[in-house]
Amino acid sequence: MRNILVATSASLALVIGAAPARADKPRPTAIEGNWESACMPIGKNGRHGFTARLEIRRGKIAATVQVYAHSTCDIPTVRNDYRGTVASIRTNDDGSVDFDHVVEAITMTPDFPEVVTIYNGNAAVGCGFSGGWTLHVVRAVDGRTCAPWTFPKAGTRLYERAWVAGDELRIGSFPSAWNNVTPDKRTMAPGALVFHRVAPS
In this model, does residue 196 exceed pLDDT 90? yes
Region of 73 please: left (phi>0), alpha (psi -120 to 50) or beta. Answer: left
CB 43 within 8 Å of CB 6: yes
Q: How many Å apart are CA 113 and CA 44, to the nearest integer?
A: 21
Q: Where would I find the H helices in the chain?
A: 3-10, 113-121
The answer to whether 64 and 80 are in contact (CB under 8 A) is yes
Instruction: Tell me the average pLDDT across 64-74.
Output: 94
Please give the pLDDT value at position 28. Answer: 60
Which of 23-27, 46-50, 175-179, 190-194 shows the lowest per-residue confidence on average (mean pLDDT)?
23-27
Mean pLDDT of the region 166-180 = 93
pLDDT digits (tens, 9 = 90+) for 91-116: 999 999 999 999 999 999 999 999 99
pTM: 0.84
Cα 23 to its chain centre, rounded Å, is: 32
